[in-house]
Amino acid sequence: MMCMEESLNDQRDVPPAPGAEQYPALDLVNSVVALPGGRSQDFLDTPAEATRWLFTHGLATPEAVLRADDAARLRALRTHIRSLITSSALGQPAPEQALDAINEALRSVPAAALLHWDPARGLHRAAARPNTKVVDHALARLAADAADLLTGPDTERLTACGSTPCNRYLLRHGRRHWCSTRCGDRARAARAYARRTRSGIRDGS
C-alpha cells in the first residue's frame, strides 16, 4: 500500500486529469481534491491562489488581483459545474440551481465584441471592459466551457476517478478511468490488499 504520508503530500505535483487541459471547466472542478482521511486540499482557497489559477489558465492578466469575494464566486461556480457534471455522469436531471448559476455567469458579460467609435481608431470592435471585470469575464468563459463540455461529444466520456477517495473528474480513454498514474497505482494496491485480506479471512476460518 502507498504510505499515508505520501498520499498527503501536496497534490499540486499531480498532473491535470485527462481532458482537463482541453477543458478549463473540468480543471476548475478538479481544483479541490479529496485526500485520505476525509481531508481535502483547495487550490482556490485564498484570493492569491484563485488569481494564480485564473492567470495560469489564461483567464486573467498578470496585473489582475482578485478579492476574497471574487475567489468565493469562483469557488461557487466550481460547485455548480461539479454538480452538473455529476448529474450528467449519473444520468440524473440537472440541478436547477446549477443551471441558473451557469446561465447567470453567461449573461453577465456580452457574448460578442461590441462596436465602438473613437476619433483615433474610427469604428472598431472590442470586448466590453475586460480589464475592469476580470472575474465576470473569467466566470463567463468557464461557464461557456462547461456548457460546451456538457453538450458536446465528450460528455459521454466524463467519468469520476475510480480510485477512492479521489474526487477528480476526467475524460475516459478506453477502459482507463483513473485521473492519474498515482490514482491507478493506489486503486491496484487497494484491490491487492482486499484480495489478501479476503484470503486471510478464509485461511483463518
Nearer to Zn ion, 47 or 162 (CB): 162
Q: What binding mask, one character per residue, do residues 176-205 give for Zn ion by CB under 5 A, x or -? A: ---x---x----------------------
Applying CB under 5 A, which of residues 166, 169, 171, 177 lies at the interface with Zn ion?
Answer: 166
Q: What is the rounded (10 degree) CA torsion for 81, 83, 89, 92?
A: -130
DSSP per residue, 69-109: HHHHHHHHHHHHHHHHHHHHHHTPPPPHHHHHHHHHHHHTS
User: Least CB distance from residue 178 to Zn ion, whole Å?
Assistant: 6
User: Rounded distance, CA 172 to CA 170, Å?
Assistant: 6
- Which three cell numbers, joined as nine digits, stand for 148? 460546451
User: Least CB distance from residue 38 to Zn ion, whole Å?
Assistant: 16
Asked if 64 and 51 count as a contact pair (C-beta separation under 8 A), the reply is yes
Which one of the spans 52-60, 116-124, 140-148, 175-183 is the region binding Zn ion (CB under 5 A)?
Answer: 175-183
User: Least CB distance from residue 68 to Zn ion, whole Å?
Assistant: 29
Size of the site for Zn ion (CB under 5 A): 6
Distance of CA 179 to the CA centre of its chain: 12
Which one of the spans 45-53, 78-86, 152-160, 167-175 is the region binding Zn ion (CB under 5 A)?
Answer: 167-175
User: Least CB distance from residue 90 to Zn ion, whole Å?
Assistant: 18
User: Least CB distance from residue 36 to Zn ion, whole Å?
Assistant: 12
Applying CB under 5 A, which of residues 30, 161, 171, 186 lies at the interface with Zn ion?
Answer: 161
Closest CA to 55 of 149, 136, 135: 135
Q: Is 117 helix (H, G, I), strand (E, B) or coil?
A: strand
Q: Under the rule (CB under 5 A), what is the footprint of Zn ion?
A: 161, 163, 166, 168, 179, 183
